[in-house]
Homo-oligomer: A and B are copies of this chain.
Amino acid sequence: MTVHSDGPRSRRERPAKPALTRPGIIAAAVEIMRGEGLERVTMRRLAQQLDTGPASLYVYVRNTAELHAAVLDELLGAVDLTPVHAEGDWRERLETVLVSYTTVLFEHPGLARSALVARPSGEHYLTLIEGLLALLDEGGVPGAQAAWGVDVLLQHATATAAEHATRGRAAGAQQEWDALTRALHGAREQTHPHIAALAAELLSGAPQDRLSWGFHMLINGIAQTPRPTPSQEPPRH
């Protein structure tokens, strides 16, 4: 099996066509997505754009999930990281970065789903993590907690955006929401007293308010929840 990178520099020139490259494929994918939406970034559409066949793309990307991860990494360049080196309360700045990240995903919700499964590992992603860790460090959060917490922060943002992807769709999402609403409101006080009491609360809040609370809640939790004792694992190198 081939190595998936832009490494396999083509050593051949079929009839006057430039050889494929991984960056070229990703760039084409980003272009199509900006012009037509993520759903249009199909292997066939991409191949057409690159004047090749869909099967040829698999030399450079393992599958669409990997392609999406790469596309997402490109988009992460748009996340506003200026708060990392700004003045002010570290918690608010941390939230600002996270909201910026979430906003990027909200604009391309289909990517959020993919990102839950195939996470990016490119330059922009690393820069984002570095920024988050810097802010947690500034807030005095122990490294061990920050290391695991940063994962959860991004997971929350990503999963929320992925859910939003569905919520944003028309008829189907509305019916699902209706079903959940009905189920919650219909819960009997006898069998589901807590749900009955909190039905309205469970469904309350604007998405951005819930998200904001979620980040506050996570930051609090991360800051004050010690990691399990490191078990008998010797220090590395």
Contact = CB atoms under 8 A, between A and B. Distances in A.
A57 interface: no
What is the total number of copies of this protein in its complex? 2
A173 to B, nearest CB: 9
B116 A204 contact: no
Interface string A194-212: 1101101110110001101
A227 interface: yes
**Contact size class for A?**
35 or more
Contact of A221 (B133, B182, B187, B220): B220
A89 interface: no
Contact of A133 (B126, B166, B183, B195): B195
A123 to B, nearest CB: 8
Contacts of A155: 156, 159-160, 163
Interface string A136-160: 0100000110111111100110111
A176 interface: yes
A212 B63 CA distance: 32
Interface string A114-147: 0011110110011101100110010000011011
A16 interface: no
Contacts of A192: 126-127, 130
B200 A236 contact: yes
Nearest to A204: B147
A130 B187 contact: yes
B183 A62 contact: no
Given A166-B118, A179-B121, A225 B213 contact: yes
A216 interface: yes
Given A152-B156, A155-B160, A159-B116, A133 B194 contact: yes
Interface of A: 1, 4, 62-63, 66, 113, 116-119, 121-122, 125-127, 129-130, 133-134, 137, 143-144, 146-152, 155-156, 158-160, 162-163, 165-166, 171-172, 175-176, 179-180, 182-184, 187, 191-195, 197-198, 200-202, 204-205, 209-210, 212-214, 216-222, 224-225, 227-228, 231, 233, 236-237
Given A113-B116, A116-B116, A127-B192, 13 more contacts: A62-B175, A119-B176, A129-B202, A133-B198, A134-B194, A149-B217, A150-B202, A155-B163, A200-B237, A204-B233, A218-B218, A218-B221, A220-B220
